[in-house]
Amino acid sequence: MRVIGLTGGTGSGKSEAAKRFREHGIPVLSADRIGHEVIAPGGEAEAKVTEAFGSSVLTDGVIDRQKLGAIVFDNAEARQRLNAIVHPLIIQNIKRHCEDLERHGQQAVIINAALIAEDGKRPACLDGLILVTSSEPVRAARLMAARGFSETEALRRIRAQTSPDEKVALADWILDNDGALTDLWAQVDKLVEVIRQYGG
């Protein structure tokens, strides 16, 4: 089974691309969703995160992701502490899901994760990497419309991540998402056929 990464900065349209891949029957594992699950009530990281960050991240006894995010966004040390707890569990869960999909005869799976290659390196476990790109003004406008951010906050979120330009050399396929959603879909549709052959 081929394991293909899907990445792109916030507001790039990575989630829309992932949705389109799913519509074509290619399974997509969301690192973000798995990350939510491991800190949810009963999740594998719930106790450790609560112990590491204290009651200030809780709302009604449950980890509040907005409170946690507010702490780690501007604090590199806190972010590293959280990542050290959560990332190994996300990787373990993705590996388990991949093994299960392979047992069921799946030939390709896509891992949707914004943090792929954030350190400038492509993970050795990937057989291919898709990068969704979009210009900063377009990404900011999307974040302002979808999440109600001010332009300043939208740009702050965008610039907190590694520039997509630094990931271009690591990618096998680039999806340009500065245009209409239908343009992105058309690019995904073409890539689906390539992946099906590539994963065969």
Q: Which domains does the chain have, with CATH numbers?
A: 1-27+107-200 (3.40.50.300), 32-105 (3.40.50.300)
Structure tokens at 117: 């290659």
Among 126, 101, 175, residue whose Cα is nearest residue 5 = 126
Could you give the angle at the alpha carbon of 180 between the alpha carbons of 108 and 13, nearest 5°? 45
Which pLDDT score, from 0 to 100, does residue 200 have?
44
CB 200 within 8 A of CB 49: no
Place of tokens 């399974």: 27
pLDDT in tens, the chain (200 residues): 999 999 999 999 999 999 999 999 999 999 999 999 999 999 999 999 999 999 999 999 999 999 998 899 888 899 999 999 999 999 999 999 999 999 999 999 999 998 899 888 999 989 999 999 999 999 999 999 999 999 999 999 899 888 888 999 999 999 999 999 999 999 999 999 999 886 54
Q: How many residues does the chain have?
A: 200
Chain Cα centroid distance, residue 141? 20
Among 13, 7, 10, 6, residue whose Cα is nearest residue 181 = 13
Which pLDDT score, from 0 to 100, does residue 197 have?
82
Q: Percentages helix, strand, coil for the chain, rounded to the nearest 5?
A: 55, 15, 30
Identity of residue 145: A
Structure tokens at 24: 């074509």
